[in-house]
Amino acid sequence: MRVLNEETQLFDLGRARDVFRSGIKEIVQVETGERTLRCSTEHHILTVECWRRAGELSSHDLIAVNGVRTTQAGGQVPPALRRGIGVWTSMQRMTSIQPVDRCYGCGRRFPREALKLDHLIPVAVDLRRALDVTNLRPMCERCHRRKTNEEQRYARRGNKGAGAKFTRIVRHPRRVAEEETYDIEMEDPHHNFVADGVIVHNSYNEWSGRYSKLDAEFYVPDFVRTQVGKPGAYSFEPVDEDTRVLARAEIEENAARAFAAYERLLEQDVAKEVARMVLPLSLYTKYLWSCNPRSLMHFCSLRNHESAQFEIRRYAAAAEDFLERVMPVTHEAFIANGRVAP
């Protein structure tokens, strides 16, 4: 299926990981001058500002649709300049790629020597980002070759590439029916697809395990602690090494035993939504989290605090890192205000 790279605003091909039956929902019709999309009110559509639910849209909102994005062809960049950019990019390897890092194309981990540095926004698209360190990401050989071939194809198309453009909704989305609905989960790294010419999110909330088999991935804490104090006013203290090793072994053993029971039930044709009941809380899950900047700051204030649970603090720290990278001015104001959301 066609997916949009939100960094470059150019299209690529992606694979659907799974399809989820979501039940009967209210259906609205979103109309532009050229296209009509029917979807549930909860389905997320890319607007000029952010992802928004279809039921929240109104007339004159700008939404992303299938179009043509003008690019600067590779032939217009002088060869000497291209060589210079290549030398500069090679010099960033030691600081921009970890000893073992993740390819931002396929998501797999590789040693540094097996990774290249790739421009998120290609040089052929925006020469001004060629020497921008924040525009560099590690990429394995296979993904890099594929992306390079795609960029060359765009350059050969008369300086134009298939990408997103924004068009105005001509009328307020109107209710047209109540129908059975399905959600599609796309594989990494792009979680969207083109539906009737409109760019929509895969609208996947949480991997529930109701329609697809769950993976055997469990969280085993390295930091094992004891709870000291009374509810509402307790703190955590580390346990001794023998207890830590014993606790980790018990958690791992229980997870393996539970997953084996889960697979046995599936082999007996027990419904996935029933078989999953034997799985423990340590099972990893995936979900889509939507929020505005104020809500994100409020979450970071509460959960990236010394009194919060260790695991949620790590999650909140990652969320705050995202806020700092995407909205640095807002994050600076957040810190200046004592980490209190406005």
Structural domain boundaries in the chain: 2-70+164-201, 74-158, 205-284, 293-336
Judge contact between 341 and 294, C-beta under 8 A.
yes
- CATH code for the part of the protein at 2-70+164-201: 2.170.16.10
Helix (H) or strand (E) holding 163: strand 160-168
Cα separation, 330 vs 246, whole angstroms: 44
Determine the 3-state secondary structure of 8 from DSSP: coil
**When comparing pLDDT for 65 and 7, which is higher?**
65
Cα separation, 323 vs 251, whole angstroms: 33
Q: What is the pLDDT of residue 224?
A: 86
Q: pLDDT tens digits, residue range 279-296?
A: 998 998 877 676 778 888
What's 205-284's CATH class?
alpha beta
**Among 112, 108, 99, residue whose Cα is nearest residue 143:** 108
Q: pLDDT tens digits, residue range 75-118?
A: 456 667 877 888 899 889 999 999 999 988 888 899 998 899 98
Judge contact between 58 and 172, C-beta under 8 A.
yes
Q: In terms of CATH architecture, what is 74-158?
A: Orthogonal Bundle (1.10)
Cα separation, 336 vs 342, whole angstroms: 11
**When comparing pLDDT for 50 and 181, which is higher?**
181
Q: Which residues are catalytic?
A: 303
